[in-house]
């Protein structure tokens, strides 16, 4: 793989007629509007990564036999650009996202990309579309790097051709209605991932496989499912597309990265912030029974999930079998609120960046 060759990126700016009318900043929603430009590059064995360009946001032309359509060889990432003081634009731990994407690539037999050069291209893309980075409270620019298998062939094998692209979407404040706890359904029928599977890779198939559980939970009035381990259906794994934390007595507990859960960057940031503050953190297996017992004996103080989209999402209610428990009187807990405020402030450059997590775009 040609990881060391300098990647040349061509700039083909969108023409005036291709520029879009920007949406109302107060009605952005999530992932429905896309910026004027995108980044695209291609890979094959002979050339490695080539034909890299920043161009107008546009449709792809793909052969109907392209392997991604049939066997789902696809990986993606999700990160955000934040507007800080003095109109600066900041990225939060972007190299961690690119590194995780390269790990996903290995698992899916896809080529790795040159991280530093892709970061450089990402920054150039954001700078070009900088007017799309929302300035209103809580709103951000969501960035979606993606890689797909494009070889037209139906025989099962790793594709010999790939396309990598980055698209960007201005997204509204996740908590437009307030930082409110959500109701979570503990899933016993369906599972998300098995050891040895692709649970720790950010690959489309994991999400396709999860939507049935999500829709059934939503029909019952829950916002998300809490996944249990696929073998014994007793250990807690994660919530929907977020990692999960429990505050029991004065300990912050989260399941370990054992191969079946996604190694969240928000998860890692919360663990680091907690250690900085002298909070006891434990990455260990925890059963759903232990969570319910802790609730019964009064030691379960808070439950919250972590992910780039919402940063922190407090859990107000858990339904397991026929028991529904209400956590912290269905109000956001002290630690959930503190981590939410601290991370949000950090991401906007309003805190000392002790761990060098911020990358400045402009």
Query: Which residues bind to ligand PLP, rule: CB under 6 A?
Result: 78, 202, 238, 241-243, 262, 264-267, 306-308
Handedness of CA 141, 142, 145, 151 (dihedral sign): negative
Nearer to ligand PLP, 241 or 254 (CB): 241
Please, what is the minimum distance in Å from the beta carbon of residue 218 to ligand PLP? Answer: 17
Judged by beta carbon, residue 94 or residue 181, the one nearer ligand PLP is 94
Residue owning tokens 């946001």: 57
CB 19 within 8 A of CB 112: no
Phi, psi torsion values for 207, nearest 5 degrees: -85, -40
Instruction: State the minimum distance, in angstroms, from the CB of residue 193 to ligand PLP.
Output: 9
Please report how close the Cβ of residue 260 comes to ligand PLP at its closest, in angstroms. Answer: 10
Q: Which two tokens stand for residue 211?
A: 């939507």
Least Å distance, CB 242 to ligand PLP, is 5
> Nearer to ligand PLP by C-beta: 224 or 328?
224
At residue 297's C-alpha, the angle toward residues 324 and 302, to 5°, is 65
Instruction: Tell me the closest approach of the beta carbon of residue 15 to ligand PLP, in angstroms.
Output: 35
The answer to whether residues 317 and 239 touch, using CB atoms and an 8 Å cutoff, is: no
Structure token pair of residue 176: 């437009």
Q: How far is the CB of 46 from ligand PLP (least distance, A)?
A: 33
Question: Which position has the token pair 């930082």?
Answer: 179
Relative to beta strand 251-254, strand 311-320 is: unpaired
Furthest-apart CA pair in the chain: how many Å?
64
Which C-beta is closer to ligand PLP: that of 98 or that of 262? 262
CA distance 259 to 331: 32
């Amino acid at each position: 793989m040609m990881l060391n060759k300098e990647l040349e990126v061509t700039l083909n700016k969108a023409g005036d007629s291709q520029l879009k009318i920007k949406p109302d900043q107060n009605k952005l929603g999530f992932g429905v509007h896309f910026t004027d430009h995108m980044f695209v590059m291609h890979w094959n064995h002979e050339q490695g990564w080539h034909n890299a360009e920043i161009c107008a946001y546009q449709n792809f032309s793909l052969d109907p036999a392209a392997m991604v359509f049939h066997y789902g060889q696809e990986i993606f990432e999700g990160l955000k650009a934040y507007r800080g003081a003095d109109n600066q634009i900041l990225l939060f731990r972007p190299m961690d996202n690119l590194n995780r994407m390269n790990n996903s690539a290995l698992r899916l037999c896809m080529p790795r990309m040159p991280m530093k050069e892709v970061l450089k291209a990402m920054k150039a893309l954001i700078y070009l579309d900088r007017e799309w980075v929302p300035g209103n409270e809580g709103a951000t620019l969501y960035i979606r790097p993606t890689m797909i298998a494009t070889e037209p062939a139906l025989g099962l094998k790793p594709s010999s051709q790939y396309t990598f692209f980055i698209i960007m979407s201005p997204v509204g404040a996740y908590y437009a209605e307030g930082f409110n706890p959500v109701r979570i359904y503990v899933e016993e029928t369906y599972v998300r991932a098995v050891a040895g599977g692709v649970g720790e890779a950010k690959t489309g198939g994991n999400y396709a496989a999860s939507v049935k559980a999500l829709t059934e939970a939503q029909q019952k009035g829950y916002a998300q499912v809490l996944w249990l381990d696929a073998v014994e259906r007793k250990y807690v794994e994660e919530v929907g597309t977020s990692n999960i934390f429990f505050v029991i007595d004065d300990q912050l507990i989260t399941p370990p990265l054992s191969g079946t859960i996604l190694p969240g960057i928000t998860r890692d940031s919360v663990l680091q912030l907690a250690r900085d503050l002298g909070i006891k953190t434990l990455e260990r297996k925890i059963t759903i029974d232990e969570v319910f017992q802790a609730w019964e004996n009064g030691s379960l103080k808070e439950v919250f999930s972590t992910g780039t989209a919402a940063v922190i999402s407090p859990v107000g209610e858990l339904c397991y079998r026929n028991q529904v428990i209400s956590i912290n009187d269905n109000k956001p807990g002290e630690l959930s609120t503190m981590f939410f405020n601290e991370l949000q402030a950090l991401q906007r450059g309003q805190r000392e960046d002790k761990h060098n997590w911020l990358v400045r775009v402009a």
